[in-house]
Each structure stands twice: as C-alpha cells, then as structure tokens.
Amino acid sequence: MSAPTDVTRARRVLGRPLTIGGLTVPNRIVMAPMTRQFSPGGVPGENVAAYYARRAAAEVGLIITEGTFVEHPSAGMSHDIPRFWGADALAGWAGVVEAVHGAGGRIIPQLWHVGVTRDQGTGPVESAPPVGPSGLDLTGSPKGEALGSTDIDDIVRAFAEGAAAAQRLGFDGVELHGAHGYLIDQFLWSGTNRREDAYGASRVRFAAEIVAAVRAAVTPDFPVFLRLSQWKSGQYDAKLAENPGELERVIGPLAEAGVDVFHASTRRYWLPEFEGSDLNLAGWIKKVGGKHVVTVGSVGLDREFVGPAGRSSTTALRDIEDLLDRAEGDEFDLVAVGRALIADPEWAHKALNGRLSQTHPYQVEHARTLH
C-alpha cells in the first residue's frame, strides 16, 4: 500500500470531529480570538456576523470571537470593541450566532476584563478607573486601584452572567480570557499580584472562583474554555510556571473548578515549554491537567504575532508538517489559527485539502481591512 499523500494526511489528522460536552466540532481547526475595533458603540453589526460566517463556511470547525467586555465599569478600553452586556450588544451577538450557524459553523464568545492594562478615560465607561489585584501595571509600577472584596465579587458575577447570556443566545460554549496580562492573568502572575490576603496566598483563587461561577451559571454540557499564557504584553519572558510541577499547581484547581478546555497561548507553537521535553505549553497542560487543550502560535506562518521586536507586519508561509506530527500524536486536541485566517478566510479549507501553497501570507494591511 502506498503512503498517504499530504492531502490525505491533513484531512485525516485535522479533519477529525471532536465532542466536548454538548459541542461537537467537525474538525480540529479553530479561529483564534483576535481583537478588532469594528463594533461602534460596542455593538457587533452585520459586518461582524458576515466576517465570522465567511470563515465558518470555509471549514473553520470552531470560531472563538474577539474578546468582548463583561459588564463591569473597568472591563474595557474602547468604544469600538464589542461588549457582552446591554440589549443592543446582545441582539448583535444573536445575529452573529445565527449567521455562523447558518453557515454550518460553531461559535463561542471570549469574555474579557482588561484589568489594569486599561488607561483612564477610555471607553466604554470613561470615568471608571483601571483596576487590578494590587494597583500595579505589567512592569510593576503603580497604576490604578487594587480591587476590594466587593469589586471582586462583582467581577466574578459579571463573568457568570456573561456565560449565562451566551447560552441563552445560542452560542456553543464560552471562553474566559485569562491570558496576556489581562485581569484574570494579573491575579495568576506574581509580577502583578502582590496581595497579602487569600487572593495573594493562592494566586489561582480568583480565576477558580470565576470558573466555578461560570460553571454554575450554565448547563453541565455547555463547554467552558479558559485561555492561559506564560507571556504577557511587553513581558515576553514572564512565567506562571517555571516547571511542570508549578504548572500543575495552576491547572489542577482550574480543572477542578470546571474548565473543560484549556487554550494555551504561545507565540510559536513549535517551541518546547520546558527543558527535557518537546511538548509545547498545550501539551504540558494536557499532561498535567487531563483536559482537552487548544494550541496556538503562528500556525501556518514563519513569524510570531508579537515579540521583543514588536508586531511583525508581514509573514511568509510555513508548512504544517510539524503541526500534523504533534496533532497526530495527540499532543493537543484543537489548533487555533489567527493571522493566517485574517489574511485568507479560506485558510482552513485550503489546509484540509492540501492547498496551503495557494494561501496568502499575512500583511498588516489585512488587519486594517478585515473582511
């Protein structure tokens, strides 16, 4: 028998369905959440619905929306990034769900609180102060206000209410943004969490409380995703965990609280996370947590999204043979694709059919004219 062709292999490895609770995705390709500012007043319109539906129609198995702000005054920093509260915004999201489902896709929203990365005077609630665990920015300098217990309870409740709204609107699950130095991550990371109360003694407590509240607000078969990262914006060498043991101490309580899928954000998926093993961050989280995982990081491209040299304006195409090797070995369960899907809405279809040579490399102009 002859060896399978590359076309056959890509379809065989990435074309497998996966069931997580009540969600079955037809293949392993996920659209990564990518911040956009195409929702004036925080309301996603028909253009947003068409943007996601176009990718769903081209065989993206699961779409994770751009980050969308939970209902807390300090959650957001732009009037043009969508929010997940208010009748107008939720009606807009209902239209997005309808469009994606109509195209045969699956979709989950990413719920977001930016925490102390927010600047005073930015929308959607301009008068709100930046807030974080300790009143420190990502460099360790004073900024904003430290959250009190009442504020923490309000934020936990906002995430839970957002998740409940997602299920009411017909979304297929929900993701919590706990990566990249935003609020949940600010509690997880020692660089920004210097608290001397229970949320400092256990830096995972805040995230676990949010997960538990979200889990209680939705049905047991409604999947809960959590995005995590080691790196932070501008802090690319930051670590939540220096070794697998430390990683397990972060992941274990979150899995117990109710996370179904961990979304491990790295800038280059092919790099090993810890010495002595080729496993990337997603692979290690799967090993220590026993849950499904999503890998992400310059899939299909030759340069990371961000780094010490800043945002790359152009990339070349990279083959996915290493990705297929890792996926075939079940190092991870799902593969999130970002810029490649901005540059080419049909990237998933082309990847599954051995036509990557026909895809378009990312250029920064694509992000300015998203379609």
Catalytic annotation on 182?
yes
* Number of helices (H), then strands (E), in the chain: 13, 12
CB atoms under 10 Å from CB of 163, counted, come to: 29
Q: Which of 52, 182, 199, 269 is catalytic?
A: 182
Return the SS3 of 132.
strand
Exposure letters 34-54 (e unless 16+ CB within 10 A, then b): bebeebeebbbeeebbebbbb
> Please, which residues have CB within 8 angstroms of residue 80's CB and are 6 or more apart in sequence?
37, 38, 39, 40, 41, 42
- C-alpha to C-alpha distance for 211 and 282, rounded to whole angstroms: 19
Q: Let me know: does 92 contact 40? Beta carbons within 8 Å.
A: no
Altogether, the residues listed in the chain come to a count of: 371
Q: Are 96 and 65 in contact (CB under 8 A)?
A: yes
d(CA 211, CA 255): 9
Residues acting as catalytic residues:
182
